Structure 1
Amino acid sequence: MGNGLLSQNIPYTELFVSDLVFAIAVLLAGFIFARILISLFNKGLKKTHLPGLVIEFLSRFLSILLYVLVILAFAGALGFAVGSVFLGLSAVIGLILGFGMQDTLTNLTAGIWIATLRPIDKDDYVTINGMFGKVEAVGMMATEILTPDNQFITIPNQLVWGSAVINDTRMPIRRARVDVGVSYDTDLDKAIQVAFDVMKNNSMVLDDPAPAVITSELGDSSVNLQLRAWANNEDVWTVKWDITSEIFKAYRKEGIEIPYPQMDVHLDKEG
């Protein structure tokens, strides 16, 4: 009965059920084989110590190539002339490129340059066109970043390559800056010394370069200080948060006022 079912003709086609079953088997086997090849390819690339971004880029390129070959094999198993299918795919790709060839080729070329010259790398924290996040991957056409609040952003490669990129993780150390205002009645030397003590008591603040405190501005309601502390890149945000908290506690303990913004309103009586 099973052989009888397999030998039945599929309505409105010249295919038999056995042809369809064989084609589906080819498709599934092809996808499994492609995934195995991609996995082996990735493992081989990791042994070369290539940057993660380059490995990701090459892996995606190979994936697209293999999946196209699997689709062609599936079409061939169904009895279609593979050459005709290939020409059809080429026509579709040509049509897509015809509508946006310039942008497509520009994004592709930019992706190659990004993966090769690596102004950014996988897991770097970057700001691109005002968008901040961690680099997840550079694809054939777009760069993917993940924001700290878990928003996934896709940026065309041409915008990445053609824009100023701020890379927060490229350098081994960075400077944390904390701004704080003190009252005009404050002993400024004392306020500066307390700020120095706060930074020196933080174990993650580096001695070289040395921390610094500058008077950054004479504001409307306060004398504004800026605390500058150098730290290892992975510690810089923790240092910033710790210093912000500790300077508030230290100034309160020492009786140093951090004033609120104030506005003087004068009312004139008429008559």
Structure 2
Amino acid sequence: MVALDEPLPYVGVTPMQVLTAIVVLIVGYIVAKVVVASFKRGLKKTKLPELVVEFLGRFLSALLYVAVILLAVRALGIEVGSVVLGLSAVIGLILGFGMQDTLTNLAAGVWIAALRPIDIGEVVEVAGKVGKVNAVGIMSTELLTADNVLITIPNKLVWGNVITNYTRMPTRRVDVNVGVAYGTDLDKAIKVAMELMQNHPKVLKDPAPAVVVTELGDSSINLQLRAWAKTEDYWTVKFDLTKGIYEAYRREGIEIPFPQLDVHIKEMPK
């Protein structure tokens, strides 16, 4: 029978020290859980966001677990000075990388909240994603796409990218491109397009609509209808003008060509 105070072979620690270390780990784990739970309950009574409460809870939990491990190591009779130095270096490295993104997101969230380049309910394009702003948090921004997909973007990517806000301004210009065949009476084509825009109830009179020739293409003369509308009417006007110009040109006998490719086959002499 091995005495509790005699060192174990090849290990150098006594069974009593091992038992003490195990007890320290178990009790320390339970105490850490209780302390963290109480800490989080106290924070939840404040106005801090849930994400911040969770982050602080995890941070405190990590610190307490490290302290418990150090106490268990000391219970084994091992000098904890070198262990502390090693753990400090590892923890510092981990926190350095982890906190870098966290602090960047926090700072970006503060700037977004202060300067408001985007706001709840606005339709924006950021980090290559387009959607309606569903929420602006301290760590991330949520976009809701037109097909009801929720996209979460870290704030550092929102603040660090070009932001296109489609609905911030009260009016927008609606551009509709259309091509007419070479040989078409351009004055007539422009007149028909102008009448279409001027007769639309949602097209604004000021700024006045316009039709411009944008390009002499390979198979068509390209025109662009430019009409101004209220931002909330943008897509209605866009659809109506696109459908309307096709019907109007068809009714007036104005050809809208499509790209064609002529292939000539040359026979090689036998």
Give me the TM-score of the superposition, normalised by structure 2: 0.68
Structure 2 residue aligned with 1:88: 61
The match for 1:196 among 194, 211, 221 is 194
How is 1:21-40 mapped onto 2 (pairs within 5 angstroms)? none
The match for 2:184 among 178, 183, 186 is 186
Distance 1:137 1:270, change over 3 A: same
Distance across 1 between alignment mates of 2:219 and 2:182: 8
1:205 aligns with 2:178: no
Given that 1:180 and 1:226 are in contact with CA atoms closer than 8 Å, whether structure 2 keeps it comes out as yes
Distance across 1 between alignment mates of 2:111 and 2:191: 49
The residue type paired with residue 239 of structure 1 is: V
Distance 1:166 1:91, change over 3 A: farther
How far residue 154 of structure 1 moved from its aligned partner, in angstroms, is: 1.1
Per-residue CA deviation, residues 11-61 of structure 1 (Å, 9 max, x unaligned), is: xx99xxxxxxxx9xx99xx79xx6xx79xxxxxxxxxxxxxxxxxxxx6x3
Distance 1:225 1:87, change over 3 A: closer
How far residue 242 of structure 1 moved from its aligned partner, in angstroms, is: 0.5
Distance across 2 between alignment mates of 1:256 and 1:188: 10
Distance across 1 between alignment mates of 2:205 and 2:268: 63
Distance across 2 between alignment mates of 1:185 and 1:86: 74
Structure 1 residue aligned with 2:241: 243
Question: What secondary structure, in the 3-state scheme, does the structure 1 residue paired with 2:119 have?
Answer: coil
Distance across 2 between alignment mates of 1:107 and 1:208: 42
The match for 1:172 among 149, 166, 170 is 170
Question: What secondary structure, in the 3-state scheme, does the structure 1 residue paired with 2:107 have?
Answer: helix
How far residue 171 of structure 1 moved from its aligned partner, in angstroms, is: 0.5
Per-residue CA deviation, residues 199-225 of structure 1 (Å, 9 max, x unaligned), is: 111100001001010111111111110
Distance across 1 between alignment mates of 2:162 and 2:59: 40
The match for 2:103 among 102, 105, 108 is 105
Distance across 2 between alignment mates of 1:98 and 1:86: 13
1:146 aligns with 2:144: yes
Given that 1:97 and 1:104 are in contact with CA atoms closer than 8 Å, whether structure 2 keeps it comes out as no
Distance 1:66 1:110, change over 3 A: closer
How far residue 90 of structure 1 moved from its aligned partner, in angstroms, is: 5.3
Identical positions, percent: 57
Given that 1:209 and 1:230 are in contact with CA atoms closer than 8 Å, whether structure 2 keeps it comes out as yes
1:161 aligns with 2:159: yes
In the alignment of these two chains, the number of paired residues is 209
Distance 1:171 1:66, change over 3 A: same
How far residue 89 of structure 1 moved from its aligned partner, in angstroms, is: 5.8
Per-residue CA deviation, residues 39-85 of structure 1 (Å, 9 max, x unaligned), is: xxxxxxxxxxxxxxxxxxxx6x344567899x8xxxxxxxxxxxxx9
Distance across 1 between alignment mates of 2:215 and 2:189: 15
How far residue 246 of structure 1 moved from its aligned partner, in angstroms, is: 0.5
The match for 2:225 among 224, 227, 233 is 227
Give me the TM-score of the superposition, normalised by structure 1: 0.68
